[in-house]
Amino acid sequence: MMIESRVRSILVPILAVLIALLIASIIILLIGKNPLMAYAVMLKGAFGSVRDLTNTIVKTTPLILTGLAVGFGFRAGVFNIGAEGQMAMGALFATIVGMNLGTVPPFLAIPITMFVGMLMGAIWAGIAGFLKAKTGAHEVITTIMLNWIAYYLGNYMVAAPLAVGSGTPKSPEISASARLPVIISVQAIDLTPGIIIAIIAAVIMYFLLERTSMGYEIKAVGFNPYASEYGGISVSKNVVLSMAVSGALAGLAGALEVMGLHHRYLGALTAGKGFDGISIALIGQNHPIGIIFAAFLIGSLRTGSNAMQFAGISKHIVMIIQGIVIFLVAADRIVRTMMDYAKYKRMKSEVGVEG
């Protein structure tokens, strides 16, 4: 029975993607284009060349981490909607520290910058966790409010104290020693070890949740705070802790964007990637491995959509596909009912049960 439910939790998102592609192809037909052509262009845009593939991986990296942030929160029974703000705070403070590490060698500067990003993300989410534990304030409300604070704080920093140059408000670049090394550079797109760091984060999250007493306590509190308290587990400590871990993952996403991609803080750095984390966690069923695949899916849809745009098909089709996938995964009863029905029909034909 457990095996069946595991197979199902993998099947549901896959079926959801297929159904979404099907529905979107009807829409593409309705706007007078050829869906097969559109998908071919999209696939080519995401994976067609080394450059495209590199671009997809670069786009996937922060999405894995924000997906893990939200997914970890879900597993702990908290709804962290603030990955966006935590990512911004992580990026902002990673920049501030990274700017001043010119004299520090990379093997120290890189971990320090990453750590600062995680720490700020953890603190930012921890505030919401602390408020929930001490006053009962709901984390959905507080993290949304903290998102705005982070957003305007970031904008202010690059508009005034940290502002350099003209045009888009931006901070100075971080020191070369705090940047991630480039593995390969394809036509101005740099692939850094960021993706490896994101995957390691997923493995650590899996280990933490499934193999440690900390994970045991965090999940216990998420499922049933009363029984947890009865079992000697401190509910308030674990609420703060799980928010902090969740925020640290989002903060790391911000730090890596600075260290590997932009090399500075910009107001538009997060650009909704924190919110994408919610969809990705849902599609990935809050499982670290599932989240990696879900992030890759969304990442490749995003790069593929640009190619589609050049071919004259609105790239917003991708938003429709993403929307339908999330709808079907969130309302997974729909897909499950369809699966049950298929199974029922099969059984009926095998056993010959009367309708």
Partner 1 sequence: MEERKDYSEYAVVMKGITKRFPGVLANDHVDLFVRNGEIHAIVGENGAGKTTLMNQLYGLLHPDEGKIYIRGKEVKIRGPGDAIRLGIGMVHQHFMLVKTLTVAENVVLGSETKKGFLFDLREARRRVKELSEMYGLYVDVDAKIEDISVGMQQRVEILKTLYRGAEILILDEPTAVLTPQETEELFEIMRKLKESGKTIIFISHKLNEVMEITDNITVMRLGKVTGRLKTSQTNPKEIARLMVGRDVLLRVEKKPREPGKEVLRVEELWVKDNRGLDAVKGVSFTVREGEILGVAGVAGNGQTELVEAITGLRKIESGKVYILGRDVTNYTPKLLREMGLVHIPEDRQKHGLILQFYGYYNAILGKHYKSPFCYEGVLNLKNIMDHAKKIYEMFDVRPRDPKIPAGNLSGGNQQKLILAREMSSNPKFALFAQPTRGLDIGAIEYIHKNILKLRDMGVGILLISMELEEIFSLSDRIIVMYEGEIMGELKPEETNFEEVGLLMAGHTLQEVRSGVV
Name the residues that contact partner 1, by CB under 8 A.
Answer: 1-2, 211-217, 219-220, 223-224, 226-234
Which of these, 205, 91, 74, 220, lies nearest to 139 by C-alpha position?
74
Q: Which is nearer to partner 1, 213 or 349 (CB)?
A: 213
Burial (0-12, 13-18, 19+ Cβ within 10 Å), 43: middle
Residue number with CB closer to partner 1 (141 or 342): 342
Q: How far is CA 84 from CA 9, 59, 196, 279, 298, in A?
A: 27, 16, 22, 13, 17
Minimum separation from the CB atom of position 284 to partner 1 (A): 19
Minimum CB distance to partner 1, residue 181 (Å): 32
- Residue (51 or 343) nearer to partner 1, CB: 343
Cβ 248 to partner 1, closest distance in Å? 17
Counted residue by residue, the chain has a size of 355
Residue 73: name the closest of 83, 87, 85, 60 by CA: 83
Nearest CB to partner 1, comparing residues 105 and 232: 232
User: Residues 6 or more apart from 264 whose CB is under 8 A from it?
Assistant: 95, 170, 171, 172, 173, 174, 258
The H-or-E segment that residue 184 falls in is: strand 184-186
Nearest to 97 by CA among 268, 265, 274: 265
Nearer to partner 1 by Cβ, of 75 and 302: the residue is 75
Nearest distance from C-beta of residue 35 to partner 1, angstroms: 40
Q: Which of 90, 130, 97, 127 lies closest to 112, judged by CA? A: 97
CB of 292 to partner 1, least distance (A): 23
- Closest contact distance (angstroms) between CB of 224 and partner 1 is 5
Query: Based on CB atoms, which residue is closest to partner 1, 206 or 327?
Result: 206
Neighbours of 4 (CB within 10 A): 8
Give the nearer residue to partner 1 in terms of CB position, either 72 or 265. Answer: 72
Rounded CA-CA distance 65/77 in Å is 18
Distance CA 276, CA 68 (A): 11
Alpha-carbon gap, residue 330 to 254, rounded angstroms: 27
**Distance of closest approach, residue 233 Cβ to partner 1, in angstroms:** 8
Locate 66 and state its tokens: 């924000």
Tokens coding 281: 């966690």
- Min dist CB 272 to partner 1, Å, is 32
**Residue 251 Cβ, how far from partner 1 at the closest point, in Å?**
23
Nearer to partner 1 among residue 290 and residue 304 (C-beta): 290
Query: Backbone dihedral region of 136: left (phi > 0), alpha (psi from -120 to 50 degrees) or beta?
Result: left
Residue 127 or 220 with smaller CB distance to partner 1? 220
Reduce the DSSP state of residue 167 to 3 states and report it: coil
